[in-house]
């Protein structure tokens, strides 16, 4: 059994962007910018929310088949053991696949900033 990696956190109601550092306003040509929630991070949150239920449904389906195949009331033949072993292998592969996919999403979310600077609020002159 594997433990799922940490999920990307969706934007919470009332969550505020990071405060600007005080030194930024003192640099020449610096403009204050508004912060926006990163669309790329938001897509990772949505992807996680779509993938987990699908993986759970596949695991539940295999678990049900595995339990039914192990029951002597359903099938009692030498080939049944091979069938049970096959389903057990599929369950193991699905668990590894789940771990791989969710770790990939989690790692990408850890490397993606939640907040990014938006467009400057005021127009500015072009500086070569």
Spatial contact of 5 and 106, defined as CB atoms under 8 Å apart: yes
Where exactly are the structural domains of the chain?
35-116
Whether the CB-CB separation of 8 and 41 falls below 8 Å is answered with: yes
Q: What is the pLDDT of residues 20-60, one digit of tens each?
A: 665 555 555 556 667 889 999 999 999 999 999 999 999 99
For residue 72, pLDDT beyond 70:
yes
Contact (CB, 8 A) for 116 and 36: yes
Residue among 91, 106, 93 nearest 52 (CA): 106
Output the pTM of the full model.
Answer: 0.78
pLDDT number for residue 25: 54
pLDDT at 124 over 60: no
């Amino acid at each position: 059994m594997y433990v799922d990696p940490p999920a990307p956190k969706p934007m919470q109601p009332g969550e505020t962007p990071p405060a600007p550092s005080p030194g930024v306003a003192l640099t020449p040509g610096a403009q204050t910018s508004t912060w926006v929630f990163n669309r790329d991070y938001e897509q990772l949150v949505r992807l996680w929310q779509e993938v987990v239920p699908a993986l759970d449904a596949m695991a539940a389906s295999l678990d049900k088949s595995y339990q039914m195949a192990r029951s002597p009331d359903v099938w009692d033949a030498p080939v049944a053991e091979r069938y049970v072993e096959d389903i057990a292998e599929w369950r193991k592969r699905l668990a590894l696949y789940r771990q791989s996919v969710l770790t990939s999403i989690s790692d990408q979310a850890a490397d993606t900033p939640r907040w990014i600077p938006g467009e400057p609020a005021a127009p500015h002159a072009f500086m070569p």
